[in-house]
Amino acid sequence: MPKRKTSPEEWREYRHDNGEILSFRFIRSARKTLALHVHRDGSVLVRAPLRVSLSYVFLFIRERWAWLETQRSRFLEEPAATPFEYKDGEVFLHMGEHLLLRIDVAARNHARLVDNELLVSITPECMVQPGGIQGVVVLWQRREAKRIFPLRLAACYELMRDLQRPFPALKIRKMRSRWGSCAKDGVITLNLELIKMPLECIDYVVTHELCHLVEFNHSARFYELQSRYIPDWKVRRQSLELLARQQYGL
């Protein structure tokens, strides 16, 4: 399969009607729609199809200016999340529940869940390495994701069986700006960070990606389909975004 064409990232400037100038990152790729992303630091990224004119991109930003300003203001006014430290006594999210991190020096690296505590055994050599404890915890999170995500995919797929699409393959990896994705060949990828989120948020992302097996876009038909299988998806999406900002600054 040929690789998708992507242009190098550029910086562009848009002057709004009120005279305000917006500098934004701009990337062209072999996609079908324009996308506008506002990051937590207030920066803006616009992704555009290869052949869309810059004037059309500016019109796209102009029409969404009010939303863009609201998003930027909300992110910049919210207190930044405290960076998580992988040390004994820290609390972190797993499947929406708060777990207490307990660290103990041992002969081998291992992590196991006991009630609401994650007990991490770590060797002295690994303990002093930068990211040593984090590596043991992330490995445990990945094992959990490999156990839980396939179960949720199967459960959501069963509820959507009337779509009559082949059962998709599943990949799990860390992604910077997406909770999930669906490729045209039917492969669904879920962000490892989702393992921190409540079950209803995981199922929202899984259902969202399953809907892309039918509608490979974000058209009105796509949202009608999504609403059929998960009517409260807006509430779930809001919960997911709020938790991600509050806990991890994502």
Largest interatomic CA distance in the chain: 65
All residues at 6 or more sequence positions from 97 whose CB lies less than 8 Å from its CB, including other chains: 116
Containing H/E element for 112?
strand 110-114
Q: pTM for the whole thing? A: 0.70
57 and 118 part of one domain? no
| 109 and 138 belong to one structural domain | yes
Q: What is the DSSP string of 159-195?
A: HTGGG--PPPPEEEE--SS-SEEE-TTS-EEEEGGGG
Domain end point (choices 52, 77, 102): 77
pLDDT in tens, the chain (250 residues): 344 555 677 889 999 988 888 889 999 988 888 999 887 667 889 999 988 999 999 999 999 998 888 887 776 555 555 567 888 999 989 999 999 999 999 999 999 999 999 999 999 999 888 889 999 999 999 999 999 999 999 999 999 999 899 999 999 998 877 899 998 888 999 999 999 999 999 999 999 999 999 998 888 898 999 999 999 998 998 888 888 877 665 5
Q: Are 230 and 159 members of one domain?
A: yes
Tell me, what's the pLDDT at 82?
Answer: 57
Which residues are CB-neighbours of 21 under 8 A, at least 6 positions away? 13, 14, 15
Half-sphere exposure of residue 212: CA atoms within 13 angstroms, side-chain side: 19
Q: Count of domains in the chain?
A: 2
Decide which of 77, 102, 121 is a domain's last residue: 77
Whether residues 43 and 108 share a domain: the answer is no
Q: Is residue 194 part of a domain?
A: yes
Domain end, chosen from 23, 52, 77, is at: 77
Domain limits for position 18? 10-77
